[in-house]
Structure 1
Amino acid sequence: MSDTVTGTGGIGRASAFLASGTIVSRILGFVKVIVLAAIIGQFGAAADTFAIANQLPNTIYVIVAGGILTAVLVPQIVRASLHADGGTAYINKLLTLALVVLCATTLAATLLAPIITGFIGLNLPQNEKDLAVAFAYWCLPQMFFYGLYTLLGEVLNARKSFGPFTWVPVLNNLVAIAGLVVFATLFRPDPFGDRSAAEITSAMVAVLGGSATLGVITQAVVLFYFWHRIGLRYRPDFHFRGVGLGAAGKMASWTFGMLLLTTFAGIVETQVVTLAHGKASVAVLATAWLIFMLPHSVITVSVATAYFTRMSEHAARGNWTLVKTDASSAIRGTSLVIVLAAAVIAVCAYPFAAVFVAPFDQVQSIGNVIIAFILGLVPFCVLFVVQRTFYALGDTRTPFFFTLFQVVLLVCAVVACAWLPTDWIAVGIAGSITVTGTLQAILAALLLRRRMHGIDGRRILRSLVKYLVAVIIPLAAGLTLMVILGGGVENGFAVSSRLSAMVSMALIGMVMAASYFGLLLLMRSDELTAFLTPLRERLRR
């Protein structure tokens, strides 16, 4: 499970391999959520309290993986690889220090579970708060193993062994699904969320929370095998002085500040959305976010991860022109598919929701939240690449400030959502994330342009405009087909069952993709040509 990035072809191979692992993992992730919804529902006490407890380690993982560890590890390891020992001593010291911090943080969070969970679920009834705390004791240890997984995986990425980091989450999902099957065997499923907090026993909490954590443990520990495969051996080393960790610590301090900001924003979001008790609340917001993250994880993360290592190498050598070229290529290449993905998901929001729940009012609730999220997908993916370009430059200070800008706006907007009708609170929060995230992406791009004296902006903007023009006709065709299939009415074919929803999404997706790429070919899109050329050559051979 490795791929070496050398030139555009290497980027393509690495990105494709990363994407394939992510696709399999995400498919299993959706299966896990479908099974979870069939067992405890998307609405009600069990769904929301488990979502609150499982959300904190997941949120911290996303921020840590996308910020602290990614920002610090890859650039520092790439630079350390120039040392005589290939960076082995540096890796051991950095990993030891990070594990000590992770262990202390996880232990403190677990001991403070009643305070943390009680504060996050401030607006829940007392019996549901107690249930969320019980789930939290089982779920919070995931923080350490998510961190371990990210540490080991980012070291592999820095050594250009990209496969394991994206493939081992498959094991996590398999273990979690097995745990859910055990739960369904032992206890009565509750797909409509009718079970009250008082009816949920300690054994139910242990099976549900324990299996989720066991999956994360498996995901992390397996990566040690791949370390051995590429010749890495971890030896704890507590001698932190004199090896240049000061620079890493300075970078980490800014990303830790980002962690605090985004965690604070997440807490405010949860506190406000729990006001919609019994309506679309924490679990619905989490499911809609999972759907939002699907194309981002498969496309943007796969491409940007491969580019990130190369950008870090160029930055280490002071070749700013190549850093700029890679950033432009990553933005244009990912946006090519992300624009289509956003349009397809927006059109298919109700069928997507019908995969998880059956009552049409619940389908509408989840579907509306999906639409509010998905409108911000393209700016979110552009922001991801821009942020990693700053990390490749060794700059975590600037990302802190444009994150602060977004968090201040977001918190104000989310608090204002508390005055919305309960049916629309989750939609309002998702919309607030979209608007503030778009503004953040614009600010981040302007700051990167100033930092690098240009970011190939005209070419990027020209490509984005071309994609948006090309998606207009596919969008109209998809909406027409959705109306024909009854996607917006109760008992319509597209929302009448899980199977009909999947068939409808596949049909609409194929029609929209064919027309989108056909129009881009007519418009002679350079990015699409670059994507298709190696494919054509392989087919000819």
Structure 2
Amino acid sequence: MSGTAPPPGDPQDVPGDAANPGEPLTVDTGERRGGRTAGEGTGVRRGAALMAGGTAVSRLLGFLRAMVLVAAIGTTGQAADAFSVANKMPNVLYMLLAGGVLNAVLVPQVVRAYRRDAGQEYVDRLLTFGFALLAGVTVVLTLAAPLLVHVWADSGSTSQFALATTFAYWCIPQLFFYGAYALLGQVLNARGSFGPYMWAPVVNNLVSIAGFGLFFALVVRPAGTVPGATGWTLGQVALLCGSATLGIVCQALVLVPFLRRAGVRYRWRWGLRGSGLGRAGTVAKWTFVGLAIGQLGYVVVSRVANAAPGADGTPSTQIAGNAAYDLAFMVFMVPHSLVTVSLATALFTGLSARAHDGDVAGVRASLSVGMRVVAVFTMIAAAGLVVLAQPVVRLFALREPQGVVDAVAAVVVAMAVGLPAFGAWSMCQRVYYAYEDARGMVPVQVAMAAVVVAGTLLGRALLPSSAWVVGAAVSMSVSYVLGTVLALRALRGRLGGRVDGTHVLRTHARTALAALVAGGAGYGTLLVVQGAGPAGAPGALLQCVVVGGVMGLVYLGALRLLHVRELDQLLGPVLRRLRGRRRP
């Protein structure tokens, strides 16, 4: 999701969320489930701890990676936007051309294979097929780099187009290693080895951080500025893009030693006749359709964002483009990734079981609870991002002038207002997944993509170029609202004619009111801290801590006064664990 946020190679938790129109796709590694028996409780708990630890460390390093990348290439400007287009391209291509097949078809087959005799031989054939498919597609798409750059980027600037194409030749080969990482990781998961898959992105981030840091030390610091769109040497391109690609290569290769430890002895075997893969083709087909629809929206956003900085004839580093969009999206995704995903994942197992058993009332209740509990968190997260957009962006863009921070912060605000709707849409997606109905989401995805495309193009026609990316972000937020409404209407027929809408709307209204009160208190506190506190990064950190604390306390108090019972459902597990630790 994009790089994007989280950084390329960081495993995602939400299958399908990256297919939302207007969003760059990121590698989606699936639900990370393997065959488990009742006697594996200790192993599962150990695996869960390893996975959680790997995810947390990877995300922290991902933030550091983003900070170093901004220092090396900038947040705005032609070079930053060229690198943004090229480096996210393998993510998009992997999910669009291979991700649906690998996750919807090959991965389930790997899990099933190890539950029967001759499983390793069958897995060998699956891996051989997957590697061959990835290699062929990667070669073809690398050769087609100029065409792909033309699709994702407005080629108004010849020098920027040429630089993006050069970067793409170095970055698109990441596609093969993204796929290899997904395949090998799922084989390890199927064998009960969960840690390596989740910790491998840490290696990617470390390699990237080292490479980007070296680029900054050797290229940016001596010159005192980030290179423009012209004058790049082969060594500079190799150091910047090679570091990004080498990180993905290491992320995949680091899994190889763990295969032998897990008892996997891979041999090249060709042939899948009688494998049963054809029966899974329908799932892969509709997965591909949904991904493709989402990308139509993102292609328009990418092209408009790419054109914005140079729209007035002279390229400006104070106008948000593709790189600024990516940074804003990473900030936007932080609360969703850390909390909303965890809540949705916790509900998904029960939701799937109820859907399988035909328990319509149970599915409806799970959806209602999920949307209401997610609203409790996303409302205050959205308010926090709106109030703290500038100090949060400053923490990532330490060396950027205030004009650049303002440009990115405006995009963050435009995205943040759609965070509650994004959470609700994510819960609706879970119901479609529970019913294995990828086809049913397609009409909703078409409507969402239409909103993103129309809104982005309308913004380009009516707004100054400095606000084009903000217009695209607003369109995304509107698309989440529309997607949620349409999905609920479609699901109502499947869920007995109702979706507990009154209860859900009441909770959203109360949490929104509480978030507005907290936002007002937070804004007032921000003005005080800005006036009395230090400037720069220390001031930004202080503002985030103090204002975030004030907003959190005010929000909790307002929720209590408004009798929002879902707060107990959100905090209940944490409070129960704390009480348990206090007991003698």
Asked whether the two chains share a fold, i.e. TM above 0.5, the reply is yes
The alpha-carbon deviation at position 414 of structure 1 amounts to 1.3
Unaligned ranges ≥5, structure 2: 1-31, 310-315
1:384-403 matches, cutoff 5 A = 384-403=426-445
2:323 corresponds to 1:290: no
2:242 corresponds to 1:210: yes
Look up the match of 1:261.
293
Give the counterpart of 1:242 among 274, 282, 289.
274
**2 CA distance for matches of 1:250 and 1:537?**
48
2:252 corresponds to 1:252: no
| Higher mean displacement: 26-35 or 317-326 | 317-326
Look up the match of 1:467.
511
Look up the match of 2:207.
175
**2 CA distance for matches of 1:464 and 1:227?**
47
The alpha-carbon deviation at position 44 of structure 1 amounts to 1.7
Look up the match of 2:572.
529
RMSD of aligned Cα (Å):
3.7
2:379 corresponds to 1:339: yes
Give the counterpart of 1:23 among 56, 64, 71.
56
The alpha-carbon deviation at position 194 of structure 1 amounts to 5.5
**2 CA distance for matches of 1:456 and 1:231?**
49
Give the counterpart of 2:157 among 125, 134, 155.
125
**2 CA distance for matches of 1:330 and 1:236?**
45
Answer whether contact 1:72 1:248 (CA < 8 A) is retained: yes
Which secondary structure state, in structure 1, belongs to the residue aligned with residue 236 of structure 2? helix
**1 CA distance for matches of 2:189 and 2:573?**
25
2:418 corresponds to 1:376: yes
Give the counterpart of 1:354 among 387, 394, 411.
394
Answer whether contact 1:146 1:220 (CA < 8 A) is retained: yes
**1 CA distance for matches of 2:244 and 2:358?**
44
Unaligned ranges ≥5, structure 1: 487-491
Which secondary structure state, in structure 1, belongs to the residue aligned with residue 220 of structure 2? coil
**1 CA distance for matches of 2:118 and 2:579?**
39
1:496-515 matches, cutoff 5 A = 496-515=535-554
Answer whether contact 2:72 2:226 (CA < 8 A) is retained: no
Cα deviation, 1:90-122, whole Å, max 9, x if unaligned, reads 755555444443333222211100121133223
Give the counterpart of 1:427 among 450, 465, 470.
470
- The percentage of counterpart residues that share the same residue type is 38
1:111-122 matches, cutoff 5 A = 111-122=143-154
2:481 corresponds to 1:438: yes
1:222-233 matches, cutoff 5 A = 222-224=254-256
Cα deviation, 1:434-478, whole Å, max 9, x if unaligned, reads 111221122223323333435555554444344334323322211
Look up the match of 1:109.
141
| Higher mean displacement: 167-176 or 449-458 | 449-458
**2 CA distance for matches of 1:426 and 1:103?**
35
The alpha-carbon deviation at position 227 of structure 1 amounts to 5.3
Change in Cα spacing, 1:127 to 1:261, as seen in structure 2 (3 Å) is same
Answer whether contact 1:475 1:512 (CA < 8 A) is retained: yes
Cα deviation, 1:49-96, whole Å, max 9, x if unaligned, reads 111111212334566898665555676677x47964597677555554
Look up the match of 1:43.
76
Change in Cα spacing, 1:211 to 1:325, as seen in structure 2 (3 Å) is farther
Change in Cα spacing, 1:83 to 1:328, as seen in structure 2 (3 Å) is farther
Look up the match of 1:410.
452
**1 CA distance for matches of 2:221 and 2:354?**
54
Match for 1:511: what amino acid?
Answer: V
Change in Cα spacing, 1:66 to 1:147, as seen in structure 2 (3 Å) is closer
Which secondary structure state, in structure 2, belongs to the residue aligned with residue 485 of structure 1? helix
2:530 corresponds to 1:481: no
**1 CA distance for matches of 2:354 and 2:213?**
48
| Higher mean displacement: 371-380 or 38-47 | 38-47
TM-score, normalisation: structure 2: 0.80
How many residue pairs get aligned? The number is: 535
Match for 2:516: what amino acid?
Answer: I
**2 CA distance for matches of 1:389 and 1:86?**
35
Answer whether contact 2:372 2:508 (CA < 8 A) is retained: yes
Change in Cα spacing, 1:316 to 1:2, as seen in structure 2 (3 Å) is closer
**2 CA distance for matches of 1:68 and 1:517?**
44
Answer whether contact 2:153 2:307 (CA < 8 A) is retained: no
